[in-house]
Amino acid sequence: MATQDTTPTKDKILEVMRRRGPSLPVHVASEIKLSMLFASAFLADLLSNKEIKISHMRVGNTPIYFIAGQEPQLENYSQYLKSREKDAFISLKEKKFLEDEKQEPAIRVALRAIKDFAVPFQKNNKLIWRYFTTPESDYLKDSSKEEPIQEIKKEQAMEEPQMQEIPKRQEISKEEQKLSEISKEELKESIEKEKPLDIFNKSSEEETFIEKVLKYLKSQDKIKVLEETEIKKKEFLGIGRIESNIGEIEIVLIAKDKKKINEKDLEKLREKVQETNKIILFFTNGEIDKKAIEFYRQLKGLIFIKNI
């Protein structure tokens, strides 16, 4: 099958983004009459080619895509910031500059989170935050004896303040803490050494879940497995390609043998989307728990779940 030229579709997406500014995948899908699946795939491709950029901020759990030069228009999405982040945003926008050490701990944490709007620099060994549309020179214009501003590494600027300084009610969100936690069960699975499976020549009477997934993929005409990156007894990771009437799109294939799919499982899938800039097709034999259902709805267009 000959691969169709997708350039006209990408040009249409760029035209839409130039006209409407920073956009969500749902906006692009609606404008050019594409499904969320294909709109997200095209945006990911444009991002990987550095034709567009992506925000640190999220609307729900979806990033905002924009063209270089449209950064000031990200302000239109500031309403979606979390409570403390919004407080930090408003304060920084009003005052233009904030000295880090003079802020309460929760605001210091929030300033490090709103990377689209808060830009760090150092002056006289002090960490200063400036509003992203305000030039650094404005901090110096009323003084003739100021020392040159010393650029600092991003990693240094983003270091968290000491956690003991943060009251319990103002600590980092539970969602961020969840991302850094690993359950005992998952830790055990990660260190367990498992032998590769003989997928199609196994003498066992009953097929495993992973075998069923791979046989399903093999039977699909529109899905081609390009690479089997990792195969374990209960997990599979690979790269695939979907054929469509607008061309071929690469996706990530993930399968997990687990009775309950929770919000933490979906968090990891979202991280994989951000890491690979590809849509994920996720296979499971379990159920999504109630708390994770709403989260999954927010990920529509980026993650698709197939129950086998």
pLDDT in tens, 53-104: 999 988 877 889 999 999 999 999 998 898 889 999 999 999 999 999 999 9
182 confidence band (pLDDT: 50, 70, 90): very low
- Structure tokens belonging to residue 97: 């500059």
Q: Round the average pLDDT of the chain to a whole number and report it.
A: 79
pLDDT (mean) for 181-210: 51
Rounded Cα distance between 10 and 6, Å, is 6
pLDDT at 169 > cutoff 50 = no
pLDDT (mean) for 25-29: 89
Rounded Cα distance between 79 and 207, Å, is 50
Exposure string of 56-70, with b = 16+ CB inside 10 Å and e = fewer, is: ebeeebbbbbbbeeb
Question: DSSP 3-state assignment of 306?
Answer: strand
Domains of the chain: 7-77 (1.10.10.10), 83-172 (no CATH), 184-307 (3.40.1350)
pLDDT at 158: 53
pLDDT (mean) for 37-57: 89
Question: DSSP 3-state assignment of 80?
Answer: helix
pLDDT at 142: 45
Rounded Cα distance between 246 and 282, Å, is 23
pLDDT at 303 > cutoff 70 = yes
Comparing 75-79, 160-164, 233-237, 243-247, which segment has the lowest mean pLDDT?
160-164
Question: DSSP 3-state assignment of 130?
Answer: strand
Global pTM value: 0.48
Report in angstroms the alpha-carbon separations of 241 from 123, 238, 281: 51, 10, 11
Instruction: Report the candidate in 124, 130, 84 with the shortest Cα–Cα distance to residue 107.
Output: 84
| Exposed / middle / buried, residue 96 (Cβ in 10 Å: 0-12, 13-18, 19+) | middle
pLDDT (mean) for 121-127: 88
141 confidence band (pLDDT: 50, 70, 90): low
| Exposed / middle / buried, residue 38 (Cβ in 10 Å: 0-12, 13-18, 19+) | buried
Q: What element of type H or E holds 254?
A: strand 247-256
How many residues belong to the chain?
308
pLDDT at 159: 53
